[in-house]
Amino acid sequence: MAISILTIIYLIASVTFILGLKMLSNPHSARRGNLIAAGGMTLAIFGTIFLYKREDGGHLQNLAWMFGALLIGGVGGAVSSRKVKMTQMPEMVSLFNGMGGACAMLISLIEFNHVTGSIPSINILKLSEVITGGKYIAIIIGLVIGSVSFAGSMIAYLKLSGKLKDISFKGQHIFNMILFGLIIVMAIITYNTHALSSPLYFYITFALAIAYGIFFVMPIGGADMPVVISLLNSFTGVAAACGGFLYNNNAMLTGGILVGAAGTLLTILMCKAMNRSLLNVIIGSFGGNAAAAAAAGDQGHYKEISLADAAMVMSYANRVMIVPGYGLAVAQAQHTCHELEKILTDKGVEVKYAIHPVAGRMPGHMNVLLAEADVSYEKLEEMEQANEDFKNTDVVLILGANDVVNPAAKNDPASPIYGMPILEVEFAKTVIVNKRSMKPGYAGIENNLFFQPKTSMLFGDAKKVLQDLCAEVKNA
List active site positions.
Answer: 403
Q: What share of the chain is helix, strand, coil (3-state, %, to 5)?
A: 65, 10, 25
The distance from CA 72 to its chain's CA centroid, rounded to whole angstroms, is 25
Residue 355 and residue 384: Cα distance in Å, rounded? 10
Residue 22 and residue 253: Cα distance in Å, rounded? 18
Sort 204 into a burial class: Cβ within 10 Å, 0-12 / 13-18 / 19+: middle
Count CB neighbours of 190 within 10 A.
24
Q: Strands 350-355, 430-435: parallel, antiparallel or unpaired by DSSP?
A: unpaired
Residue 206 and residue 186: Cα distance in Å, rounded? 9
Sheet of 319-324, strand order? 380-382, 350-355, 319-324, 395-399, 430-435, 455-459
Coil, helix or strand at residue 305: coil
Residue 173 and residue 189: Cα distance in Å, rounded? 24
